[in-house]
Structure formats: C-alpha cells, structure tokens
Chains A and B, each alone.
Chain A
Amino acid sequence: MIHRQKIGLQLSYPSPLSLKCYHEGPPLFVIEFLHRVWTHFRFDYFGVCSEPVIKDNVVVVYEVLEEMLDNGFPLATESNILKELIKPPTILRTVVNTITGSTNVGDQLPTGQLSVVPWRRTGVKYTNNEAYFDVIEEIDAIIDKSGSTITAEIQGVIDACVKLTGMPDLTLSFMNPRLLDDVSFHPCVRFKRWESERILSFIPPDGNFRLLSYHVSAQNLVAIPVYVKHNISFRDSSSLGRFEITVGPKQTMGKTIEGVTVTSQMPKGVLNMSLTPSQGTHTFDPVTKMLSWDVGKINPQKLPSLKGTMSLQAGASKPDENPTINLQFKIQQLAISGLKVNRLDMYGEKYKPFKGIKYMTKAGKFQVRT
C-alpha cells in the first residue's frame, strides 16, 4: 500500500513494516509514525506484528492505515480513537460478526478527534474504578574487567493502567522530584504545572499508557545491585579454554534479585562448551555462538555459578577479545534511584477509585566486559 508523496508504506519483505521515502521530510517523523503503526498493530490489534499476520489481516490493516493517514500526513494516531473507529479483531467478535453480519468498523464517527483531550474516549464507564502505576527503572551500565563501573545511569518510566469512569483529573506527586533530571511526558501531562510545582497533573487516557519517562541525573551515584566474577581464558597452545562465571548480589537494599539471565556472545573460534551450572539452565548455540544461562533467583548464601570448558577450533589462534557478558535481572518492590511517589489525588469525579503502585528495577543495557 503506497501513499502518495511523503510516506510510502510497504507491507512486505524484509521487515513487516518498511518504508520508502521519496520526498524531503524529517526522517524521525516517518520513523516515529512507523513505530506508532507498529505499536497499534502489536498491542491493539493483532498481538504480534509480523508479515504473515499482516497478510492475513490485510483488510483491517488497510482500514487502520486509512484512518491513520491522509495523503501521507498522520491523521488519527491515538490508540483510543483508532480502537473506537475500528474494533480490534478478536475470536469472539469474528464469530459474532459472521453470525450477525456486523462489522469491525465502529459505526461511531471519530468524535475523539474533535476533543481537546484526544487521547481519552468520552463516556468511559467502569464498575470497578482502578488506577495502577508501575514505576520501572532500568540500569544501563558498563562494568569493566576489574569490576569497576565505567558508566552507569538510570532510566525510568512510569507506566499506568487507568480504568476510571468519566473524566477524572489526576495529580501525582513525588517525595523527591528533584531526582528526575530529564523527563518526557505523555501529551496529557500539563507541562506548566510540572515546571512550577513538580507535580504531574493530567487527565489520563483510558487503559494502558506510558505516563512519563525519565532519566535520573548523572550526579547521583548509581548503586549497582549485582556483580559478576568471571574467569575466561583461552590458551594459545591447547584447544581447550576455561570458563567460569559467578553472579552475586551487591547493593540490593535487602531485596532479592530475580529473573537473572546471563547471555554472552562467544568468539567465533569457540566450537562448543561443556558447562555445569550450580543452578538454572544454560544453552549454547554452536551456530550463533550465543551462550545463555537462565539463572533465576540469586540466593546470597549459595551464589550461582557456571563452570566448565570451551573447546576451541584446533589450530586457530586464540581470540583477542574475551566475550562481553550481558546481564538481565529484576528486583521487585525497589526503585533503585530511590524515587518515591508521594500521593495520588483525583478531582472531577465523585467515586473512590482503587489505586496501586508498584516499583521495579530491571537491568537495561547491562554489560560486563571481561
């Protein structure tokens, strides 16, 4: 499907969504739009966004794109409006549609486009009014060979799931808003209020959305919650190499580290690895040379380790670089930067909503050089 002029969208090989650009225009504009399209397909419509899925649902895709673009210029890109215009296909609805002959296309006109709060549907009703906020922080870090931190920063987001009736007006305040160095908002957040009072004041979209993403200022030292001890050596003469890594908790504020996964891209010369983990499971793909070790929880009394040997290509010289170790982990109930939500107030509606907040720390791009 090709749109005249600015944005050409091609739904085909190589990636599900690729584009052709013929005309001068800001590239990020186009990329940003494609990401929106992808997000809508992925989360609102099909659950996955892949070539076969798009081929199967080509009519819905056409319908959605028709609403999203007019002559190559974005029209309705808010998920609320789109979902109202074209209902996402579900099995149930497909069945009902075939029986009753009704359609996916909502018979409503896009009234949302006329509103000053285009991100929110009108006439939302819930029997249980709830608002959940997840504060998720990711640690991006590069740790060098000796275990010292080369660079570490915290990037956080607040994802919200708000199911509230009517037009609630929420304010969310933090105990320590000064921590937030650089923030970007969902368009619903009133910027001036944040500037002057450091309070997030907004009329939320309905459903799931990302309220805020932030960066914790670099001045604050980042507590690195895990350490990795490693001993990886290749010997020139023999065709065997030693491999040993241990993962342990460092500054975790008393919380357990879960969901630990270690992955490492081994050098080309490594033919196979025979390793024994003290816990969890590991795999090594001899084709891609990717080692991955699913550790699970770290028990501070008994540190998980992975030991063994690597068989190297005979005759080949030893690789000049040791592999980099990538780490994934999760810590529940902890925001590593110390960010705390102070309170959440609601105005504009009379009911008492159910509310919840959750903190989580995750590894972002967490690398250990060896």
Chain B
Amino acid sequence: MSAAPAYSEDKGGSAGPGEPEYGHDPASGGIFSSDYKRHDDLKEMLDTNKDSLKLEAMKRIVAMIARGKNASDLFPAVVKNVACKNIEVKKLVYVYLVRYAEEQQDLALLSISTFQRGLKDPNQLIRASALRVLSSIRVPIIVPIMMLAIKEAASDMSPYVRKTAAHAIPKLYSLDSDQKDQLIEVIEKLLADKTTLVAGSVVMAFEEVCPERIDLIHKNYRKLCNLLIDVEEWGQVVIISMLTRYARTQFLSPTQNESLLEENAEKAFYGSEEEEAKGAGSEDAAAAALPARKPYVMDPDHRLLLRNTKPLLQSRSAAVVMAVAQLYFHLAPKAEVGVIAKALVRLLRSHSEVQYVVLQNVATMSIKRRGMFEPYLKSFYIRSTDPTQIKILKLEVLTNLANETNIPTVLREFQTYIRSMDKDFVAATIQAIGRCATNIGRVRDTCLNGLVQLLSNRDELVVAESVVVIKKLLQMQPAQHGEIIKHLAKLTDNIQVPMARASILWLIGEYCEHVPRIAPDVLRKMAKSFTTEEDIVKLQVINLAAKLYLTNSKQTKLLTQYVLSLAKYDQNYDIRDRARFTRQLIVPSEQGGALSRHAKKLFLAPKPAPVLESSFKDRDHFQLGSLSHLLNAKATGYQELPDWPEEAPDPSVRNVEVPEWTKCSNREKRKEKEKPFYSDSEGESGPTESADSDPESESESDSKSSSESGSGESSSESDNEDQDEDEEKVRGSESEQSEEDGEKRKTKKKVPEGKGEASSSDEGSDSSSSSSESEMTSESEEEQLERASWRKTPPSSKSAPAPKEISLLDLEDFNPPSVQPVSPPAIVSTSLAADLEGLTLTDSTLVPSLLSPVSGVGRQELLHRVAGEGLAVDYTFSRQPFSGDPHMVSVHIHFSNSSDTPIKGLHLGTSKLPAGISIQEFPEIESLAPGESATAVMGINFCDSTQAANFQLCTQTRQFYVSIQPPVGELMAPVFMSENEFKKEQGKLMGMNEITEKLMLPDTCRSDHIVVQKVTTTANLGRVPCGTSDEYRFAGRTLTSGSLVLLTLDARPAGAAQLTVNSEKMVIGTMLVKDVIQALTQ
C-alpha cells in the first residue's frame, strides 16, 4: 500500500517483514507482547469450523483495517481461510490479503496455489476473480506466475476473463516495470480484441503502461471508433482521450487555414486602432499566403472518429460528455465544434463539483471559440445561491462572451451582481467590468463612469477594487480623465484599503501634470500620515514624492525631503532602501549626477497600459478535461497533447484515378495491412479478416419487422424524411463522400445476435468469439444499412400490421402517429437494438450463436474506364438483404469518374432481361464531378439462376451495355438452424438432391478458421453448429424460391475431405460444389 500515508505509522510500528513469523508462531505468541495476545480471540474464531464465527472475525478485522489499525499479525490465521467455502469470508480474506501481502511476502505465497487452481476453473467468473486477486498481491517473487497467468487469461475464451487480464496489466507493471516489453505484447494482443467488454480496460492498460506506443493503435483505430458507442461509460472516457492524442499525431489540423483568417478577423474587429492597422496589414499578408496553401481535405478516419463520438454527447455520464467535448475542441474543424456547447451547458445543471470542472473548461474554450457559447449566454447568469467559486467562473465565462452586441445586457447583469452580499464575488465582478471595458472600446467610458460611481459605495472592498480597475483603465487613455483623477484624490481621505490607496497615489503621481494643483496637496496629507500607512502605501508615497519633485520641485521640495527622511528610518528595509535609492536619484549630489540627469526619464517614462486578460488565456495548452487543466499545473503522468503534424501529406494523391489504392498504400504504412478495410479493387477478393460471425438473418429481419410494426402506419412521412436525409448527405463534404465509398467497399457484414443469451447459454463454447465478431462489426453494418436506405427511397413500405403490441398508455388526445416520422427499417437497427430485438422479439427459438459469412465476392468490373470514356463502374455483392424486395440480391455499384468533365445523369436504361429476372433501379445520379466517385445500390432478382442480367447504363450522352453475372454463391441467403434441424432437413434431401464430391484440402487450409472463411466467402451461407470437430455445416436458402441449400464438409485426416451439398435445385447444388471445391483447393 504504497499510497497509504495514513497507515505508515502503524506499519512503522509493526515488525518488519520476515520477523513477525516468530510472533505469529502460535506457540510463542504470548511471549512477545500483549499486542499479539490481543488478537487471540480472533485467531480462535478463524480457526473454528463455523463459517459464522469466521465471518464475524473477518468483519472485525476489516473494521480494524478501516480504522487504520495494524492487523498484520493475524496474517497466518487469515490466510488459511483463503480456500473457505463461504463467499463472504472469502471476499473479506481477499481484502485482507491484498492489503497485507506486501508486508508478509513469504506467508502470502501460501495462498498462491489456491489462486492458481482458480485460474483453471471451468467457470469464467471464478477464473476472473482468481486472476484479479492474484494480480493484486504485491509480492515480487510471484511476478513470473502473474505474467504467465495474464498471458493465459489474455487468450481466454471468455471476454470477462480477458477484461480482467487487461486490468491486471497495470498492476503487474507497477509491481515490476521490467516486465514492460512482455506486457506490451499482451496489450497488443488484447487491443486486437473485438469485444466491447475488453476494449475499455485494455486501453486503460495501454495508457498506463505504454502511452507512447501509439503505433499499436493504428490497426485497431477504426475498430475502436466503431465499438465506442457500446463500450461501458468508463471505458468510453479512457478510449476517447486516448484517441484524441492519437488523432493529434496522425491527422492534419482541420483548422490550419481557418485559424489564420479567424485571428485576423478577430483582431480587426475588436482591436483598438493601432491594432487594427496592424491587423489589416497582416490580413493582406495572410490573404496572399492563403492561395498558396492547398485546400484541406479531412482524412476519412478523422471524420470517422468525429462522427462516432458525437452521439456520446447524449450520454448521462458527465465524464463522457466532457471527454467528447474536449475531443471536438481539439480535433474538429471550427464549424463543427459548436455541437458540444449545448451538451456542456446541460452539464451545468449537475452537481456543483461537476459544474466547477465544466465551467473551467468552458472558460478556456470560450476564449478561443467565443461564438460557440454566445447563444447560451443566459445560462451563465449567476444565481445568489451558487457557491462563490462557481460564481467567479461563471463571471469569467460571461466576460469572455461579452462582445459589442451583448455588452449592454451583460453590463446590466453585472450591475445586479455588484450589489451582492458576497464580497469576493463583487470584487471579481468589478474586475470583470474592467476587462469588458478594455476589450470593447465602445463601452469603455460607460464602464469607467460606472466604476467611478462605485467609488462612493459604502463597502470599502468594492471601492478599493474599483480604484484598482480604474487605475488600469486610465492608464490606457489618461488625458481625458483629469476629472476622475481629481475625484480619486478626494477619496484618499476615506479609503482605508491599502491597495486602493496605493493605486490612487500611483495614479496621481503618474498623471501629476493633469492635476498640478491637487497633487502636492495629496502629498502633503500623505506625508502627515506617513508613519501610520501600510508598507505598500508608503512605497507609493515615496514614488509620488519623487515624481512631484521632478515635475514641480518648487512646491514639493521640502515635502519630498521630509518624506524621504521619514522613510529612511522606517522599520521596513524595503522602504529604507527605496528612500535611499530615490534620494540618490533625484537630489543631485556632488559626486554623481550622471543618473540624476536622467531621473525624469526613469520615473516618468511612458508606461504601457496593462493588459487585462483572462487567467484562462493559455490554459488550452493542457488537454481540456484533464486534471492538469483543472489545476493549471502539470500533474504526474500527464501526457502532453501533441501538436498537429507539420508536414501535409499531399492531398492530391487522393484524387488519382483509383483513389482507394492510393489510400491503401498511404495507409498501409500505418496500418501494417492487418485489416483489409477496403477490399481489393482488382478482384483479388481478399477474404476479410473475420470469417466467423453470424449470417445475417433472423435478427435482422426481426429488426425490420419490428420497425415495420412501429412504423407501419405512415410511410409517406418516412419518404420525406428519407429525402431530407438524402439531401443532407449529398451536401456532405467530398472527403466524407470518399470515405463512405471506402466503407462501402468493405464487403464485410455482420449480424448482431443475442450475445448475452448465447454466452450464458453455452458458456465456454466459442460463442464468445463469435459474439465479439458481431459486435465489432455491428457499427459498420448499420452504416451500410443506413446508407443503403438513403440512396433510394424504399418502394412503399409494407404496411405490416403491428404485431402483438400492447398499448400501455391510451391517452385522451391520442393522435394517429402520422405525426411521428418514421424512417426506413434499416436505420432502426442500431447494433444494440438489433441485438436486443433478436433476443426478445422473435417467437422462434433463440438463435444459437453461429458463424457468418463476412465477405462477399470482391469487387468486379462492370465497365472499364477506357470503354466507359472515363467512367469506371465496379460492383460488389453486399450480401445485405435488399430492403425493397427480399428476393433480390443487392448489388452495390461504384461509379468513379476519371475523365476531365463531369458525367451527368447516370441512370439505368432499358434492359433486355431473360425471363424472370427483374431489376430494381437505383435513383439517378445527377452529376459526378471529375475525380469523384459515388455508390448506388440496386436490386436484381436473378430468379435462382446464374444467367447474366444485361442492362444499359446511361449517361446524358452515352449508353453502355453491361451485364452482371452472379456467382452461384450469391444467390442465397444464410439460414439459422440447429444441428438437429439440419440433420432433419438433410434427411429430406437425399438421393437426387444430394451431390457428393471428394477433394484434398491443401495444407494452407486445414484450420477451422480458414475453411469456414473460404466457404462463406464463396457462398452466402450461415454456419450451423456441429458436434464433431471435423465436420463443417452451412445452411442457406435461395433467394427467389427459398429452397434450402445445405452444405456439409467432412474433413478427414491428412487433408482428405468430402463435400456434400443437399438442395432441391440441383443445378445450383452442382455449381456450388464446383465453386466451393475450387475455393478450397486453390
């Protein structure tokens, strides 16, 4: 317990490690001291067989620990109970063990074997808890054991155990930092984990152990972004702040151009005249510099991060909201930062501690981005019940937000504050008025007059503060304000606050030429009271005397000498020094004089006006939301927020004809090609990394049906909404566009499934890994779905009757929900939604965890760019259900324009289709600018045949004849079924319907993973769980007729295998066998 100062005394008092073993020897226990005797009863209780007595003893011991008493001498007695059956006793023993193990290392070793046994327990929760306690025991000797345990747990099947492993990493690191390299390996492994449960914890470990190894994040970056919304709140905070740092090192500043403009604009607008002149000059310079810069295009990954964190602004946790806010502040382009204001203002309603932290951050932000909070000005108005520090922070924000337009309201508000009973707050208000006056030239006189009026206030503090502020203001333009100085001079009789008196004296001295008659009189009065003044006032009296002596020596010579003589014998050496120094300077003596000739220049040099500025001015060099920012000092462990990288990756590389390639190659350096995010364009058809997640299916159709039930009533509304959305997206920036493209190309697909159910029902099976898959991809699928849906208005949504809905509330003014805009089904399925709906909405049996095809066939060419005169068209089978018609295969068409002229009016022309084949067109693409690309989704009903669909692709000027021929594997959709169902169905499809083929599996594809991947890549089938390890089963239905296709692969030793396909459609079956064998033996 290194961090437990409270106990250190006790520890000091106890015997050192090792030694107490004598004391603990029950035989000799009594010999030593009564201290040991004292716990005899506890020991007895611990030694009994009764759990209730043991529990009682443990409770008393824990209470002792809590009171800071030393209970270490009980160690042997307690540690014996580590294997106790009673859970509460066990847990308390853990508490004790973790607390004292470091002191009693040898004895602590006795407990280790218990935990080692626990690590092998079949129950994941017991494994986790054993690891948790084991890693909390700070005994250096067991470091190797811990390391081993962590490594094993990191590849445990249960995500919960892996999470615990992630937690254990920083513990081991703090115990023995030599293990760093090995720990980093584990972190690297866990970072690749795809479950939300692990993500937060491993990033925490990363931050703790190796925050500098930013390279580990590259290949996990997108995954983390996509998982983020489903991670628990604590993990979200850690991940977001890590990603902020990451993004700062990897992307270009989105504000590089804006910031120049912005600075100049602000200067010109608010600056005083001189500044304006300067500002104008630099603006020209900037304007000249601007065209030289290349236009900034945001990296799609940068955009991904911003987009995925935005919903979290709606979190209930203040910490998450703050984390997102700081991310936006540090990373988003200026135009987008505004979204965080609303959420931050909402946090102001929270507990005062939260308010305090949020206001600090708002204060910093409001300096840089004033416009952001301006609409919420009133939310920062101060209530008399606010605690003082909150009031002062709000005041700070109000001051930062004040500008030409709102200053009248702000000042009126300030006026009420000045009358507050809280004097610290009043003083701060006066300072704030001073700052408003300096910042906004127009109201300077108003403020000054207001402050002068305050001088007659009864409260001295108020007056003093006003004087100080007036002094600063007058310094800026002294000439016009002789009157005010006179008024101040009169006040010297009344004001007693030293600072205020000193300020007045300084002012009179500085501007004695403006008040030639009054100044000597003031000096006379001060000379009289000199001895009773405070030090700070005395110094200013000397100062005043010297200045007057230099300007008006006739009247003040004697007074000055008198004051200097008094000062010479003052008790304070500063004052004595000052007096001596001043005398030498101003009174010419025989020897010197070189200095005194310049005395006037020294004393009455024009002084620059002080700048009244916020104490939050430069706080933003600390990462917002951090402890360091709160304290305005670097806390231990603070990670500097790196500056944006300097060198701009040439944005034009993105504009070359095959954008994804350049992007890939760009990225490859960083991403180490782990994750083929963009599927290869040349048909290499990289099977994407995860072969095992679920076939889409029930849960998906569930979510659809549920949304239909929810929406059913109004489809017209939904169409509108759709178009709106469409427009919005189309307006989106170019970069977004290309990013979307990229994402679309990733032919991955996944299906949410009932994860919780699955993992609890067949715990320990490989369900955990499959569920993780689905979770990790869920985000991206939604995106795809979403996009798919906005690209075309769904053809009249089926008005399914709302199934089994129970109206809980029948309100008197019930409106038919046409008011409720309803959007197309796809949007509905948030990953979680789909998860849960999968769980709860189906009548059918729960979906067992299944593995799914993740990738369709790679991109294929529809129209070469040469043939298409610059228009290149590719297509992929997205394997998503086509939302308009379930019998259709949905095909993603990617257009890219590599010509120099925009291509207009892309649409489908008349098609010559074989019988039965039908096409659902995509909406016309109005224009495709040079270098741009676009994606559309069309549906084709191939009628369960592999005949090509021929159609025309028309632009305004040209028509191209193209054809799409589907691989047989794309004509089906996965089906979930249990092993028994599978066997039953297979039994029905024997004889003619069964096709069997023998093959040899090459060495490269003998692992489960690869086999499954190859099969699911070739055909859109769902995996069926299987009892025997060497048999793989897949099931699907053809899209049009819905006939079952069952595929069995029986792997024998030495690579021999037998492939069986059962299907009513014999043609399809034969072709499928051929394709699969080709894929497997390749």
Contacts and interface: CB of A to CB of B under 8 A. Distances in A.
Interface of A: 1-5, 8, 11, 21-29, 31-33, 35, 58-59, 61-63, 66, 70-71, 73-75, 77, 101, 103-107, 109-111, 113-118, 122, 131, 140, 142, 144, 150-151, 153, 155, 167-171, 173, 175, 177, 181-187, 190-193, 195-199, 201, 203, 210, 213, 215, 218, 265, 267-268, 317, 319-321, 324, 326, 340-350, 352-353, 355, 357, 365, 367, 369
Nearest to A186: B316
A198 B91 contact: no
B806 A117 contact: no
Given A167-B840, A268-B421, A347-B805, A24 B635 contact: yes
Contact of B383 (A144, A169, A170, A365): A365
CB-based closest 5 A-B pairs: A348-B840, A355-B808, A192-B830, A344-B808, A101-B52
Contacts of A175: 811, 813, 815, 819
Given A26-B241, A175-B815, A185-B314, A321 B833 contact: no
Given A24-B627, A74-B234, A343-B807, A203 B840 contact: yes
Interface in B1-57: 1-4, 6, 50-52, 55
Given A71-B136, A150-B378, A342-B815, A118 B232 contact: yes
Given A191-B830, A348-B841, A199 B820 contact: yes
B381 A142 contact: yes
Interface in B338-372: 342-343, 345-346, 349, 351, 353-354, 357-358
B506 interface: no
B804 interface: yes
B319 A103 contact: no
Nearest to B706: A347
B210 to A, nearest CB: 15
B625 interface: yes
Given A23-B635, A24-B637, A35-B351, A66 B95 contact: yes
Contact of B841 (A28, A104, A169, A215): A169
Interface residues of chain A: helix, strand, loop or mixed (majority): mixed
Contact of A169 (B353, B628, B836): B836
Contacts of A105: 87-88, 91
B760 A115 contact: yes
Contacts of B581: none
Interface string B264-289: 00000000000000000000000000
A184 B51 contact: no
A155 B197 CA distance: 33
Contacts of B836: 116-117, 167, 169, 203
Contacts of A22: 3, 636
Given A28-B625, A199-B710, A320-B457, A70 B132 contact: yes
A39 to B, nearest CB: 11
A317 B840 CA distance: 72
B665 interface: no
B91 A8 contact: no
A357 B808 CA distance: 10
Which of A24, A35, A117, A155: most chain B CB closer than 10 A?
A24
Nearest to B828: A193
Given A184-B316, A192-B782, A346-B806, A367 B627 contact: no
Given A107-B87, A185-B314, A326 B385 contact: yes
A111 B319 contact: no
Nearest to A116: B756
Interface in B994-1014: none
Nearest to A369: B416
Interface in B808-823: 808-811, 813-815, 817, 819-823
A4 B2 contact: yes
A345 B807 contact: yes
Contact of B626 (A26, A104, A317, A352): A26
A210 B384 CA distance: 29
14 contacts: A1-B66, A28-B323, A32-B233, A63-B92, A77-B233, A110-B125, A114-B760, A184-B343, A191-B314, A196-B827, A210-B316, A343-B810, A348-B840, A367-B385
B123 interface: yes
A103 B87 contact: yes
Contact of B630 (A27, A196, A268, A317): A27
A186 to B, nearest CB: 6
Interface of B: 1-4, 6, 50-52, 55, 59, 62-63, 66, 86-88, 91-92, 94-95, 123-126, 132, 136, 158-160, 164, 167, 170-171, 174, 197, 201, 204, 208, 229, 232-234, 237, 241, 311, 314-319, 321-323, 342-343, 345-346, 349, 351, 353-354, 357-358, 375, 378-379, 381, 383-385, 413, 416, 419-421, 457-459, 625-628, 630, 635-639, 706, 709-711, 721, 754-756, 759-760, 782, 804-811, 813-815, 817, 819-823, 827-830, 832-833, 835-837, 839-841
Contacts of B810: 343
A197 B718 CA distance: 9
A115 B756 contact: yes
B832 A342 contact: no
Nearest to A191: B311
Given A73-B234, A74-B234, A59 B315 contact: no
Which of B316, B759, B827: most chain A CB closer than 10 A?
B316
A324 B840 contact: no
Contacts of A5: 3, 170, 174, 208
Given A70-B132, A155-B349, A185 B833 contact: no
A181 B379 CA distance: 15
Contacts of A352: 806
Contact of A197 (B91, B357, B627, B828): B828
Nearest to A10: B6
Nearest to A32: B319
A348 B805 CA distance: 9
A175 B821 CA distance: 11
Given A342-B811, A367-B383, 17 more contacts: A4-B2, A24-B635, A28-B318, A59-B59, A59-B63, A73-B234, A77-B233, A114-B197, A116-B756, A151-B381, A169-B836, A173-B820, A175-B811, A192-B827, A341-B811, A343-B807, A355-B808
A107 B125 CA distance: 12
A345 B381 contact: no
Given A4-B3, A71-B136, A353-B806, A113 B840 contact: no
A32 B355 CA distance: 12
A160 B639 CA distance: 41
B830 A193 contact: yes
A64 to B, nearest CB: 11
Contacts of B759: 114
A340 B815 CA distance: 11
Given A58-B62, A169-B841, A182-B343, A63 B91 contact: yes
Contacts of B635: 23-24
Which of B86, B136, B311, B820: most chain A CB closer than 10 A?
B820
B820 A198 contact: yes
A182 B342 CA distance: 7
A106 B88 CA distance: 8
Nearest to A77: B234
Which of A33, A70, A183, A353: most chain B CB closer than 10 A?
A70
Contacts of B626: 24-27
A348 B323 CA distance: 35
A151 B804 CA distance: 46
A107 B806 CA distance: 37
A25 B323 CA distance: 11
Given A184-B316, A213-B316, A28 B782 contact: no
